[in-house]
Amino acid sequence: MTRRPYRFDPLRSGFRSAGPDRYFCDWGVVVGDRIRRLRRARDWHLIDLCRAVDKPDGGHYTTGFFSRLERGWGSGPLTTYVNVADALDVDPGRLLGKDDAQREVSEAEMTLIRVLRQMGLPPHEAIARLAGLGDDAGLAG
Question: How far apart (Å, rounded) are the C-alpha atoms in residues 17 and 10?
Answer: 10
Same domain for 73 and 45?
yes
CATH number at residue 96: 1.10.260.40
51 in any annotated domain: yes
How many domains, in total, are found in the chain? 2
Q: Which residues contact 60 (CB under 8 A, 6 or more apart)?
A: 50, 51, 53, 54
13 in any annotated domain: no
49 in any annotated domain: yes
Dmax of the chain from CA atoms?
A: 84
- pTM here is 0.58
Question: How far apart (Å, rounded) are the C-alpha atoms in residues 91 and 85?
Answer: 6
pLDDT in tens, 91-115: 888 888 876 656 677 888 888 888 8
Q: pLDDT band at 8, cuts 50/70/90?
A: low
Same domain for 46 and 97?
yes
Same domain for 62 and 32?
yes
89 in any annotated domain: yes
68 in any annotated domain: yes
Same domain for 56 and 82?
yes
97 in any annotated domain: yes
Looking at every residue in the chain, the average pLDDT score rounds to 80
Mean pLDDT calculated for residue range 38-46:
95
Q: Is the pLDDT of residue 14 over 70?
A: no
Same domain for 39 and 81?
yes
Task: Determine the structural domain holding residue 126 and report its residue range.
Answer: 107-137
115 in any annotated domain: yes
Same domain for 73 and 40?
yes
Return the pLDDT at 140.
46
pLDDT in tens, 46-62: 999 999 999 888 889 99
